[in-house]
């Protein structure tokens, strides 16, 4: 059981890496969804509201 103490940090870091990969993938999907929403005629106000930010912040992030 002593080996678990030695591998625990590596296992924990692996979880961090996986979570970071998930964030990158989710951001990619979000960017694509925003582009599709804009192409469909959605306003920055509605897009901002959908993600919990202001119209201006949405425009600055994706505009």
Q: pLDDT tens-digit profile of 47-62?
A: 999 999 999 999 999 9
| CA–CA separation, 45 and 47 (whole Å) | 6
The answer to whether residue 8 sits within a structural domain is no
| Residue in 56, 58, 14 with CA at minimum distance from that of residue 38 | 58
CB–CB of 30/51 below 8 Å? yes
> Is residue 19 in a domain?
no
CA distances from 20 to 12, 13, 31, 49, 62 (A): 13, 10, 17, 25, 21
**Domain span holding position 36:** 30-63
Report if residue 62 sits inside a domain: yes
Can you give the pLDDT at residue 28? 98
pLDDT for the residue 6:
87
What is the total count of domains within the chain? 1
DSSP label at 32? H
């Amino acid at each position: 059981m002593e080996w678990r103490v030695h591998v625990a940090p590596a296992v924990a870091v692996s979880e961090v890496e996986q979570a970071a990969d998930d964030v990158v993938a989710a951001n990619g999907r979000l960017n694509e969804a925003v582009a599709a929403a804009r192409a469909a005629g959605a306003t920055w106000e509605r897009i901002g509201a959908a993600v919990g930010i202001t119209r201006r912040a949405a425009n600055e992030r994706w505009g």
